[in-house]
Amino acid sequence: MKLLLKIWRQKNAEDKGGIVEYPVDNVSPDMSFLEMLDVLNQDLIEKGEEPVAFDHDCREGICGTCSLYINGRAHGPDTRITVCQLHMRSFNDGDTIYIEPWRAEAFPVIKDLVVDRSAFDRIQQAGGFISVNTSGNTQDANAIPIEKENADKAFDAATCIGCGACVATCKNSSAMLFVSAKVSQFALLPQGQVEAHDRVLNMVKQMDEEGFGNCTNTGACEVECPKGISLENIARMNREFIAASIKG
């Protein structure tokens, strides 16, 4: 396939940045999207040009670092996948593909397609832990009765990989889906009850301080989430937050 890539290039956080066009050909439909970018970068290096900076790590849909905004969608045209799981057979010969970084004030661009998502780390540090001593004192899983429905919901929430697609796709750049998933994975289990009230208050406070917007209630975050994190988690977090606020 022959493609025209329109890629956001930005030298650093202070640079204005802009779209630069790169024609590529001999793209196999069996290539992953990141492999296609590797081919482009190899060509740029051979020409003595600066390669395009983009994040990646596991390339197995686990870590979420391969976050890109492709043709106006977080992680590209397919659903329930990350960019590293996107293959070029999702595109056609002659296509023009726009590739941009996440667009959010709380995710400042570092270079080209790489953004600083450390805001997510600070939110988790504010409350994403339990004080129950599990080091060397772990109990058999069956020793703590937990309703299967709650266990399943906690596990589903814990599948959030923190990629930031929910923020990138929200018109308010809201992090509510991410934060609610991190709250829910503990709120639904007995081990997480010790810090339950402090957790939700501290994580929501940190989310606001980082500059994320409010929830729009449109559900775009769930649609674009590669792990299908449910909006039910936002409702649960709101209930947890109200209860913790009343308790003081």
Per-residue pLDDT at 137: 73
Say whether pLDDT at 167 is over 90. Answer: yes
- For the entire predicted model, the pTM comes to 0.94
Is 184 a residue whose pLDDT tops 90? Answer: yes
What's the fold here for domain 118-247?
Fumarate Reductase Iron-sulfur Protein; Chain B, domain 2 (1.10.1060)
Check residue 4 and report its DSSP letter: E
Classified by CATH at the fold level, domain 3-111 comes out as Ubiquitin-like (UB roll) (3.10.20)
User: Residue 208 and residue 225: Cα distance in Å, rounded?
Assistant: 21
Domain boundaries, the chain: 3-111, 118-247
| pLDDT tens per residue across span 208-239 | 999 999 999 999 999 999 999 999 999 999 99
Looking at residue 141, its pLDDT comes to 66
Strands (E) in the chain, as ranges, are 3-9, 18-24, 69-70, 73-74, 96-100, 109-111, 114-115
